[in-house]
A and B are shown apart, each in its own frame.
Chain A
Amino acid sequence: MKYSAKKLFPRKLIIATSLSLVLIIGALTYVYAFHGNLFGWTTNKASSNDGAINYEPATPEQQQAGTTVKTGSSDTPAAPTTSPGSTLKNVQVTITAANQNGSTLQIRALIGAVENTGTCTLVLSRSGQSSVIKTAGIQALSSTSTCQGFDIQTSELSPGTWGALITYSSSTLTGSATKSITIQ
């Protein structure tokens, strides 16, 4: 009996194609679940060097990461912005540390520009108490600056909650930040 090749051909093709599709989908799912570790092959970063120097060529990710910073790292503060009605631009000021260490209160601030002349003013206030005011200069860092201070003796403050205000001003920039501090 002679079977029709034309009839059989399409059905087998459909079955074969469906099977292939199932396999492809399964593989993709596997790859997604196991992050590309197929049969142990991996494109992960190089294994531990035990302190030895790695003389292998750079990996694609390393090259890609290098290209990203070719024209400068994105990890730089945003440029200071102009304030309407002011000749000074606004710079970001952050209070980065406010810790009581024994009898010393350490307050630190970050200024979002590289400056080496300017003034930081710290005002510690508490209702019903006289404010404590300290001033300090500015120290330039690699991409930011910091106030040259502040270490305050807690004997100058009474226990309780104080408000700390740091303002910065130079010939071109100004900025401020506040933080609540509890004195033991």
Chain B
Amino acid sequence: MIYLALFLGTILTVSSVAINTVYASPVVGFNAGRIIDDGVFTNSFSMNVSQIQAFLNSKVAACDTSGTQLASEYGSNLTHAQYAASKGWPAPPYICLKSYSENSISAAQIIYNISQQYQINPQVLIVLLQKEQGLVTDTWPLSTQYRGATGYGCPDTAPCDTTYYGFTNQVTWSAKMFRAVLDNSPTWYSPYVLGNNTIQWSPNSACGGSTVNIQNRATQALYDYTPYQPNQAALNAGYGTGDACSAYGNRNFYLYFTDWFGSTQFPQPIGASLYYQQSSGAIYLVSNSTKYYIPSWQVMTNYKLDIFPTMPVSDNVLSSLTDGGSLSNLLWDTGGVYLVNDGARYHVSSDMCTAWGLSCFDSTKLTALSSVFQTQYLKQGSSLTNVAYINGILYKMSDGSKQPIANPKTLSDLGLNTTPVFVPTAVNAQQPLGVLLLTTPGVLQFSSTSPLYYFDGSAYYLVQDMNSYYDWSLNRVANLSVPESSYSKTLPSSTPLIPWVLSNGKKYIIDQARKVAIPDALTTLWSDKQFVSQPDSLLNNLSSDTLSTTIWTNPYVYYLDASKKHHVTRPEDFASLSTAPSGVSALRSDKITTISQGTDYIADGRLVALDDGSGKIYVVNNHKLTYIPSPGVFNAYGFDWGSIQSYSSTILSDYPVDTTALGNGASSDNTFFITTSTGLYQLPGALASDFGILPTSFNSINKSIIKKSVPTLTRYLYNIDDGAIYYASGEAIHHVMTYSAFRAYGGSTQSLTAVDSNTIRLFTISQPLY
């Protein structure tokens, strides 16, 4: 049992010694030259009245208003009231700061009002009240503590009671003094300067002091108020007692502020400060005692300064700084010119200056900020290249314009580098749009309202209308989607795509996805057109065709001759048309609009009566009107009396009357056709020469006009006019004089053809046969 007691006792002793030892911890982070930053010191927005009141409430749970609590903090068994009486201090009631008011205004409201009036952080005033009189934590403040609440002394010659003493007066004088130092007011004198100062450790001058480089006005203001700095013994003691040379005011200011309200540091970019001019709202970057006006929020974010708070300053403070002009995005130092972009700086060579259109050689456009800011605050980017990535599109910067790069293939074709890729902020990407950079062929538009173009890889071809689009089969060519470029406003130079192509010396019409070759005989029909060369890349896409003389232009069929197009209107005309070499050629109507239109096509073999009142009947033969001289010839040729059609004499211009009438004819295949009183006979050329035929009396006819089958002449001819019989052989016909000769030449077995004397006269007559 006793061992257990001893064991427990030991543990308890050890623990209580450890936990209950109020072991002072040294002050951390106190910088004599920079106790508190101006930005924190002047942040008048840190607390509103409710927050100040709640804060004061939190620091005194129970106020000993009547002074009945024991004065144990003085090691006394007396009550506070008794202790005060023994010291000659004021008697109760003791009003705590959270409940204090003056002229019916609460202490919290007074603190707030004065903080707004002088633009001082109310937290600074709260700490001041604690540091000077302990008013924030005191559970039984004496009335004298309110009289000199901030320890602001009254000069002997002044009316102290009315102008210096009392809670409101005290806090007001303190705030006014702080504001005067912050503003570097010309009517306020300070024993300290920004720079090196001799600051004592304590009121005892024999203790000495040290040189302190005061870095900012708020720190200067604190020393104006309490002209001593904490020595090492004071710093080692935390809130506690140091040595005989220690003074605690500024140490305690730092401790209370950091314990109750956070850091005394105001974040600013390394090597510079951000000032906000209260009178105008202008923001300045201040570096090396020079102020640079920040002209826009875009410049602010470009420098990544938007992440910092700005410090409100008076005009007086700003006027003491050198005017560095407007902050530009171009900096310079001994290393050259730099472009600032998104918090980094990029070296700009002379070539890149030109490419980006930067005013590198205009000293009014360049800024020189402190070396620390340029090299430690700004990140160091790589050298500026000529490729930029803006809103999802890559651009080549060239002569101050940004030329969009249409696609990845173009990028690699141009040999441009994207490692690393430079992403300019909006403020650095204001260059006008340049021309489109494109190396891949395809069909494209430059804007929703621009015409269509075909690009063959190096030149643009204008697609003039939808006919052209389909003629050239562009619907099968890759459709390119391209970024916006200067071409949206100013179209590029281009060659129009036309359907008249000259290729390898031959002429073609481009029609409905085909390359249609024009036969030499028909080229005159398009003599008004200029045939030019067009992109092979498109021509190779088209199927080949050759134009025939018969064309179909929906809904019409035309026959083409060397000078005109002729509408083909009747089925019987159509049947005789040539469709060589590969069928009827289709051609869209726009291809034949300039070809003059002639008489409707009348096929060879058709029977025509003119409206000239002559009653003459013609047959169209080799495209001419051949007069049919008699019903006998009409019938001999097998024409149909019901097929004669009447035409206007106007057709004579295309279908002239033949010089000779229809009679004996020879067709182009050397077949002879002979009209006799007994009908029409034919004589193939080889046989005809055996007859000794005299070709002079035969006119050319188109065999197809003959509408019946024509018997061939036999070698034995019987002249019905005189009964003579002839035998054809040996390039002549011979009168057969005797029956035995008739028999000898096979006349009995061969047939005789009955002809007339006109027929006989067509042949060479040679020696008779006996």
Contact = CB atoms under 8 A, between A and B. Distances in A.
Whether chain B is bound by chain A comes out as yes
Interface of A: 12-13, 16-17, 20, 23-24, 27-28, 30-31, 35-36, 38, 41, 43-46, 48-78, 92, 94-97, 99, 101, 106, 108-110, 112, 114-117, 139-149, 172
Contact of B249 (A30, A58, A73, A145): A73
B650 interface: no
B17 A108 contact: no
Nearest to A116: B155
A37 B137 CA distance: 26
B10 A24 contact: yes
Given A69-B132, A142-B173, A142-B174, A53 B225 contact: no
B466 interface: no
Contact of B133 (A13, A17, A69): A69
A38 to B, nearest CB: 4
B59 A97 contact: no
Contacts of B148: 72
Given A36-B23, A61-B238, A141-B225, A97 B188 contact: no
Nearest to B61: A57
Nearest to B173: A142
B263 interface: yes
Given A43-B21, A96-B192, A110-B227, A20 B6 contact: yes
B198 A31 contact: no
Contacts of A58: 59-60, 136-137
Given A36-B23, A43-B23, 10 more contacts: A16-B3, A27-B13, A30-B18, A45-B238, A48-B262, A50-B262, A61-B24, A99-B193, A139-B188, A142-B174
22 contacts: A31-B23, A43-B23, A46-B259, A50-B262, A52-B262, A54-B261, A58-B59, A61-B22, A61-B240, A63-B137, A64-B73, A65-B239, A65-B252, A70-B134, A70-B142, A112-B203, A115-B155, A139-B188, A139-B189, A143-B152, A146-B190, A147-B189
A140 B54 CA distance: 35
Interface residues of B, number: 90
B590 interface: no
A41 B23 CA distance: 12
Contacts of A61: 22, 24, 238-240
Interface in B450-468: none
A63 B18 CA distance: 21
B67 to A, nearest CB: 13
Interface string B495-536: 000000000000000000000000000000000000000000
Nearest to A148: B189
B630 interface: no
B442 to A, nearest CB: 59
Contact of A142 (B151, B200, B204): B151
Contacts of A49: 259-262
Given A38-B18, A51-B262, A69-B133, A24 B13 contact: yes
A69 B134 contact: yes
Contacts of B224: 141-142, 146
B136 A35 contact: no
B189 A62 contact: no
A52 B238 CA distance: 22
A75 B228 contact: yes
A55 B260 CA distance: 8
Interface in B1-44: 2-3, 6-7, 9-10, 13-15, 17-19, 21-25
Nearest to A65: B239
A108 B252 contact: no
B59 A57 contact: yes
Contacts of B3: 12, 16
Contacts of B60: 58
Contacts of B130: 62, 66
Interface string B226-270: 111000000000111000000111001001101111110000000
Contacts of A50: 262
B58 interface: yes
A53 B126 CA distance: 12
A172 B156 CA distance: 10
B549 to A, nearest CB: 96
B484 to A, nearest CB: 47
Interface string B176-200: 0100000000001111110111111
A65 to B, nearest CB: 4
Contact of B193 (A59, A73, A108, A141): A108
Contact of B132 (A73, A109, A112, A145): A73
A72 B205 CA distance: 20
B247 A74 contact: yes
A23 to B, nearest CB: 5
Contacts of B249: 73, 75
A16 to B, nearest CB: 5
B335 to A, nearest CB: 28
A5 B22 CA distance: 44
A18 B241 CA distance: 36
Contacts of A94: 198, 200, 205
A43 B205 contact: no
A73 B259 contact: no
A27 B227 CA distance: 42
Contact of B225 (A44, A52, A143): A143
Contact of A28 (B17, B133, B145, B202): B17
Contacts of B260: 49, 53-54
A30 B19 CA distance: 12
Contacts of A63: 73, 137
Contacts of A28: 17
Contacts of A44: 25
A94 B534 CA distance: 98
Q: Would you list the 5 A-B pairs with minimal beta carbon distance, nearest first? A: A66-B134, A38-B18, A114-B153, A27-B14, A36-B23
A114 B134 CA distance: 22
A14 to B, nearest CB: 11
A56 B261 CA distance: 11
A10 to B, nearest CB: 12
A98 to B, nearest CB: 8
B687 interface: no
Nearest to B199: A96
A95 B74 CA distance: 39
A141 B18 contact: no
Nearest to B252: A65
Contact of A108 (B15, B192, B258): B192
B582 to A, nearest CB: 89
Contacts of B151: 72-73, 76, 142-143
B227 A45 contact: no
B206 to A, nearest CB: 11
B51 A53 contact: yes
B728 to A, nearest CB: 133
B158 interface: yes
A149 B193 CA distance: 11
B21 A97 contact: no
Nearest to A101: B195
A30 B21 CA distance: 12
B47 interface: yes
Contacts of B152: 142-143
A16 B6 contact: yes
Given A17-B6, A115-B155, A96 B137 contact: no
Contacts of A16: 2-3, 6
Given A20-B6, A49-B262, A140-B153, A96 B198 contact: yes
A110 B225 CA distance: 12
Contacts of B228: 75
A71 to B, nearest CB: 8
B14 A75 contact: no
